Amino acid sequence: MVPEIVKNIYNCLDEKKAIDIRVLDISSVSPIGDYFIIASAGSTSQTDALCEVVSETMHKSGFSMRGREGNSNSGWVLMDFGDIIVHIFSNQMREFYSLEHTWNDATVIDL
């Protein structure tokens, strides 16, 4: 069963018009976490907005960010909330890193 917070993150990204949101259950293939949430943004300002809404959603739900890498100008932002890791990409960087392909042993969650 997918935790409610994962659904909440998916929904807030969807409301902010994130592109191609994917949720991967990585718990059976990696000790680094339970879920990857991957989304693309059409611009640097949208990347910033998506990061902000994820941070707000997690904070309101009692989750603290353990770390953050990248920024909207780099084309990839990683937000680490422990068992939930959120990746927000530019379209070009998402294609380049192809996390869905790299983590193809993970279970794709259809929300």
Give the CATH number, domain containing residue 88. 3.30.460.10
Query: What is the chain's mean pLDDT, rounded?
Result: 96
Domain hosting 88: range is 4-103
In a domain, 110, yes or no: no
Q: Confidence class of residue 60 from pLDDT cuts 50, 70 and 90?
A: very high
Within-domain flag for 95: yes
Q: What are the φ/ψ torsions at residue 85 (nearest 5 degrees)?
A: -120, 125
Q: What phi-psi label fits residue 96: left (phi over 0), alpha (psi between -120 and 50 degrees) or beta?
A: alpha
DSSP state of 66: -
Classify residue 108: in a domain, yes or no: no
Would 50 be classed as within a structural domain?
Answer: yes
What pLDDT, on a 0 to 100 scale, did the predictor assign at position 73?
Answer: 93
Tell me, yes or no, whether 69 lies in a domain: yes
Total count of domains within the chain: 1
Does 62 map to a domain?
A: yes
Q: How does residue 8 score in pLDDT terms, banded at 50, 70 and 90?
A: very high
State which H helix or E strand residue 95 sits in.
Answer: helix 91-97
Distance CA 18, CA 25 (A): 19
Q: Would you state the pLDDT for residue 95?
A: 95
Tokens (6 digits) for 62:
């009692």
CA distances from 105 to 26, 38, 56 (A): 8, 15, 30
Strand 35-41 with 84-90, pairing: parallel
Cβ atoms of 69 and 78 within 8 Å: the answer is yes
**Angle at CA of residue 9, ends 77 and 64, nearest 5°:** 70
Percent of the chain's residues with pLDDT above 90: 98
Question: What does the pLDDT look like over 82-103, one tens digit per residue?
Answer: 999 999 999 999 999 999 999 9
